[in-house]
Structure 1
Amino acid sequence: MTRKYFGTDGIRGTANIHPMTPEIAMRVGMAVGVAFNRGGHRHRAVIGKDTRLSGYMLENALVAGFTAAGVDVFLLGPVPTPAVAMLTRSLRADIGVMISASHNPFEDNGIKLFGPDGYKLSDGLEKKIEDLIDQDLTDRLAKAAKVGRAQRVEGDLYRYIEFAKRTFPKDMTLSGLRVVVDCANGAAYKAAPAALWELGAEVVTINDKPDGLNINSECGSTNPIGLSKKVHEVRADLGIALDGDADRVLIVDEKGKVVDGDQLMALIADGWHSDGRLAGGGIVATVMSNLGLERFLEDRGLSLARTKVGDRYVVEHMREHGFNIGGEQSGHIVLSEYSTTGDGLVSALQVLAYIQGAGKPASEVCRKFEPVPQVLKNVRFRGGKPLEDADVRSAIDEGTNRLGGTGRLVIRPSGTEPVIRVMAEGDDRGLVEQVVDDIVNAIAGLRTAA
């Protein structure tokens, strides 16, 4: 299916450059309003955003589009992405919108859409909206007396905080734990510290002063170096690194070592399996998750189902096959018992519950397996289809044979730029590096020849 505006996680781009302009945002609001207008009741949309400067611009444009289509709008202000998914259901809205480019720098922004069930929209519905964006919708907009209204929602952030707290065991507190939370100057700068403090933790907060320009800037889950230093400095028991819209999380143990999403999924799955809560006989992850995670699960009689890269594909597989844990190595973890999308705060609370229950330091419980050496390199190309070239295919086939049954090779084109991502993993790091280099050089040779 050819997609003009939507990628794997909504519409995304640089602010004020097509397609991330006020005009397109307004047309998205109109198109979504028309697409969801089934008559019979007054339609509602909820709109949340992270802390980017361009969020004001896109928020107002979306409001104009929705109200023109006769949809009432509830404005949430800066809230995490999972709060939008939760409040879409709670407020009985027809559509939820999150204005965010997640872990990207402030220059970028995006529009994520959720259906009334709190799940991201299907490919088919996104295609319908895409078609409507480019149409003249004048005759399908609301009459003057039916134009929608917009209002700010009071207390929405505290409803999300209470929701997150309810996912933590009722018979347990965080008393005695000193926790550093890196809010990435993003959407959870109020919610995450408040939830942790209300559960009893001593909370040290960093990167919690957003100014519209500093979201994800040398901080958060994409750059946890500062968090590691702070954990050392204040002698904390744990560090939590969120991203700009708080749908991702990484953990830093008391020694300052970073724990990635694969390890966190292994920890949560291990705990839930012991408690009889794990559904589906395993977890769902993408092709990029480490082979060590797969081996860890197999040793416990559990499975690892792999999908294409993108949390939407993980969630789709979870829903179709009855899994309740899924996610990505980046720390985007979906726990479907609680949420319809990745939730960094809720995932962190599950990790904290495991640590408290074990009564051991994070460094002793957060590493469930030894990662297999994994190498990922990106190579740009000028055009054409490099993966169909005979020399490139030969290099890929040779690499696959050399890795044999002890490793994996994943080659995939980027969905947003002219880049081929080459990833290999196996027990022999030297061999893995050589296999990746040979394939990258084959693709780079094509670029040079062009």
Structure 2
Amino acid sequence: MSSFQKVAEASSKFPKPDAAFTYGTAGVRTLGSLLESTVFRVGLLAALRSKKHGGACIGVMITASHNKEEDNGVKIVEPMGEMLDQSWESYCTDLANAPTDANVTQILETIVSKENIDLSLPATVAYARDTRPSGPALQAALESGLAALEAKPLNFGIVTTPQLHYFVRCINSKNTDNPYGEPTEDGYYKKLAAAFNKLIEGRAKTDPIHIDAANGVGAPQVLKLSSFIGSDSLDIVVHNDTINVENKLNVECGADYVKSNQRSPSGVNVQPKQRFCSFDGDADRILFYYVSESTGKFNLLDGDKIATLAALYIKEQITDAGLKDLRVGVIQTAYANGSSTEYIQKKLQLPVVFTKTGVKHLHHEAEKWDIGVYFEANGHGTILFNSKARDAFNSAQPDTPAQDDALSRLRALRDLTNETVGDAMSDMLIVEVILRTKGWSLEQWNQCYTDKANRLLKVIVKDRTIFKTTNAEQTLTSPDGLQSTIDNLVAKYPGSRSFVRPSGTEDAVRVYAEANSTQDCDELAYKVAGQVFDQAGGRGTRPPEFL
């Protein structure tokens, strides 16, 4: 194969370092200095994936999201903006770990044969990166990979991860009966701004929204978005917006830091009545928070709170529009706070479905509903609308002006939503619309329900593979007897639950516990952790806090 001869020559410029790589849900992530060979090879695979899809545009994003600045990563985006099909993840892992250039071409030949790919078909790959210092070198490696298979490159420069997902979907849906939008930065901002301004029409303007942009790519992008929305509609104040100085990205700031530490980011002085949110490094996650006026307490509104707010609004609009036959579902993982699940099921009377941990599982389940709402507690999530919902919004005949208005709001809500992936900018505007519609402050939103006390612990074990789960990772089937021990412990604490699941990355298991009080929660968590350590091969010295 002459085309692969060119690949071998190009590959020789990007020798594989002495490191192992794995392609998972977030793509490949490690030190940016180790990634040039991998990104080159991802370029090759993206070109093949485009040919496999008959020449459809495939995306490649160079980012490591909330990781430290010296890390970087790469992931492939499917034609409708989805994550890479799981069946191709192993191809990426195999390619990244191929020791020689000859091995690289052999693997490519195997993929072409196994997937029945016509190499004469054209390939198009759209790509972008975040603000990391290692980005330019990795982009150059990617471009070399694309050139080696003569793929058409579409460089979108420095943008957020959700923006690249949006561009890819726009490109591939352009000449269909359901075009997603204009595949440009301006097109993205115009679509969100128009939908937002339609939804807030006639609503009183709120106080400014303060954004901790994690010193990442979200900082310049949200300011561009703000200029399209207009200061008459929304005042945005951006903090932690230093993107051209090293060792700032995600340092004591960003959504992951705020969630992990349950505190405000550094460099930000949150005052009572101020409204704050944090993006992560590539702006696909968002969390909100405020400080209580009476107590000065820090209050976090995480992905569970966003999911319940979105579900509340959708339920109201569907009812007002007379579209009661549309199936609305909320998708959660076992880590969702039990109070949020109870609120959705009992107060909103909407079904909740649990999936395994990981965005791809949530997204896949959400696709099964007419309107599927999913958010992880970490602030990553979105809303999906299927063709039945879209058709209903566009063609339902309203009986009253109120129904007509609700249908109009649902159409605008869909335009305001980035259905491809979690998007901090889009999600921020959705929350703002709902709070204005309800006339709520962050504090009033937070009062919808009170989170149960919860704790997440890690237990180091000799072999995590002996831990097998069922029931969306909430129940152990192995080791024998451990689940009944957990059940007996949970029974002693009213309103509590606990589950154990193996880590995906290290020989450890995660123990999650929640209960009505902090004392009960901590006791339960440390008792379950102690039993895991004792019964299932804990490694090293037994931690003294385990009960």
Fold shared by both chains (TM-score > 0.5): yes
1:422 aligns with 2:511: yes
Match of 2:248 in 1: 214
Match of 2:16 in 1: none
1:203 aligns with 2:236: yes
Match of 2:41 in 1: 27
CA contact (8 A) 1:227 1:252 kept: no
Aligned counterpart for 1:270 among listed residues 312, 323, 328: 312
CA distance in structure 1 between the aligned counterparts of 2:193 and 2:375, rounded to whole angstroms: 21
**Aligned length, in residue pairs:** 387
Deviation at 1:27, TM superposition (A): 1.1
Higher relative contact order (CA 8 A, sep 6+): 1
Which amino acid is 1:448 matched to? G
CA contact (8 A) 1:179 1:236 kept: no
Return 326-335 or 400-409, whichever deviates more.
400-409
Deviation at 1:320, TM superposition (A): 2.6
Match of 1:158 in 2: 186
Structure 2 counterparts to residues 298-313 of structure 1, below 5 A:
298-299=345-346, 300-313=348-361
Taking structure 1 as reference, are residues 244 and 407 closer, same or farther at Cα in structure 2, changes over 3 Å only?
Answer: same
Secondary structure of the equivalent of 1:25?
Answer: helix
Which amino acid is 1:425 matched to? E
CA contact (8 A) 1:391 1:442 kept: no
Aligned counterpart for 1:287 among listed residues 334, 348, 351: 334
Match of 2:216 in 1: 186
1:399 aligns with 2:486: yes
Deviation at 1:46, TM superposition (A): 0.9
CA distance in structure 2 between the aligned counterparts of 1:412 and 1:180, rounded to whole angstroms: 36
1:16 aligns with 2:54: no
Secondary structure of the equivalent of 2:278?
Answer: strand
Structure 2 counterparts to residues 331-370 of structure 1, below 5 A:
331-336=379-384, 337=414, 338=417, 339-370=419-450
Offset from partner CA, 1:82-129 (integer Å, 9 cap, x none): 1011101223399xxxxxxxxxxxxxxxxxxxxxx99xxxxxxxxxxx
CA distance in structure 2 between the aligned counterparts of 1:349 and 1:343, rounded to whole angstroms: 10
Offset from partner CA, 1:381-435 (integer Å, 9 cap, x none): 3446453799965454222233248433221112122221110223354343233
Offset from partner CA, 1:118-155 (integer Å, 9 cap, x none): 9xxxxxxxxxxxxxxxxxxxxxxxxxxxxxxxxxxx99
Question: Which protein shows a greater Rg?
Answer: 2
CA contact (8 A) 1:327 1:333 kept: yes
Structure 2 counterparts to residues 204-243 of structure 1, below 5 A:
204-210=237-243, 211-224=245-258, 225-227=263-265, 230=268, 232-233=270-271, 237-243=274-280
Return 379-388 or 69-78, whichever deviates more.
379-388
Deviation at 1:305, TM superposition (A): 0.9
Secondary structure of the equivalent of 2:457?
Answer: strand
Deviation at 1:306, TM superposition (A): 1.0
Which amino acid is 1:441 matched to? G
CA contact (8 A) 1:165 1:195 kept: yes
Match of 2:409 in 1: none
Which amino acid is 2:530 matched to? N
Deviation at 1:295, TM superposition (A): 0.6
Structure 2 counterparts to residues 72-151 of structure 1, below 5 A:
72-92=152-172
Secondary structure of the equivalent of 1:275?
Answer: helix
Taking structure 1 as reference, are residues 236 and 178 closer, same or farther at Cα in structure 2, changes over 3 Å only?
Answer: farther
Aligned counterpart for 2:207 among listed residues 177, 192, 207: 177
**Structure 2: which 5+ residue stretches go unaligned?**
1-19, 55-117, 293-297, 385-413, 469-475, 543-547
Deviation at 1:228, TM superposition (A): 8.9
1:6 aligns with 2:23: yes
CA distance in structure 2 between the aligned counterparts of 1:29 and 1:307, rounded to whole angstroms: 31
Taking structure 1 as reference, are residues 24 and 266 closer, same or farther at Cα in structure 2, changes over 3 Å only?
Answer: same
CA distance in structure 2 between the aligned counterparts of 1:229 and 1:209, rounded to whole angstroms: 11
CA contact (8 A) 1:157 1:191 kept: no
Secondary structure of the equivalent of 2:122?
Answer: coil
Which amino acid is 2:484 matched to? D
Return 222-231 or 209-218, whichever deviates more.
222-231
CA distance in structure 1 between the aligned counterparts of 2:127 and 2:465, rounded to whole angstroms: 39
CA distance in structure 2 between the aligned counterparts of 1:329 and 1:395, rounded to whole angstroms: 27
Deviation at 1:45, TM superposition (A): 0.9
Which amino acid is 2:503 matched to? S
Offset from partner CA, 1:207-232 (integer Å, 9 cap, x none): 11113532211111123344598463
CA contact (8 A) 1:380 1:419 kept: yes
Return 173-182 or 185-194, whichever deviates more.
173-182
Which amino acid is 1:157 matched to? E
CA distance in structure 2 between the aligned counterparts of 1:30 and 1:323, rounded to whole angstroms: 36
Taking structure 1 as reference, are residues 47 and 78 closer, same or farther at Cα in structure 2, changes over 3 Å only?
Answer: same
Taking structure 1 as reference, are residues 217 and 155 closer, same or farther at Cα in structure 2, changes over 3 Å only?
Answer: farther
Deviation at 1:362, TM superposition (A): 1.9
CA distance in structure 1 between the aligned counterparts of 2:316 and 2:478, rounded to whole angstroms: 49
Match of 1:121 in 2: none
CA distance in structure 1 between the aligned counterparts of 2:487 and 2:193, rounded to whole angstroms: 46
Match of 2:295 in 1: none
CA contact (8 A) 2:496 2:516 kept: yes
Deviation at 1:380, TM superposition (A): 2.2
CA contact (8 A) 2:331 2:353 kept: yes
CA contact (8 A) 2:334 2:356 kept: yes
Secondary structure of the equivalent of 2:458?
Answer: strand
Match of 2:405 in 1: none
Taking structure 1 as reference, are residues 273 and 399 closer, same or farther at Cα in structure 2, changes over 3 Å only?
Answer: same
Aligned counterpart for 1:57 among listed residues 137, 146, 149: 137
C-alpha RMSD of matched pairs (Å): 3.2
Taking structure 1 as reference, are residues 392 and 163 closer, same or farther at Cα in structure 2, changes over 3 Å only?
Answer: same
Deviation at 1:32, TM superposition (A): 2.3
Aligned counterpart for 1:45 among listed residues 125, 134, 153: 125
CA distance in structure 1 between the aligned counterparts of 2:21 and 2:242, rounded to whole angstroms: 36
Deviation at 1:247, TM superposition (A): 0.8
Secondary structure of the equivalent of 2:429?
Answer: helix
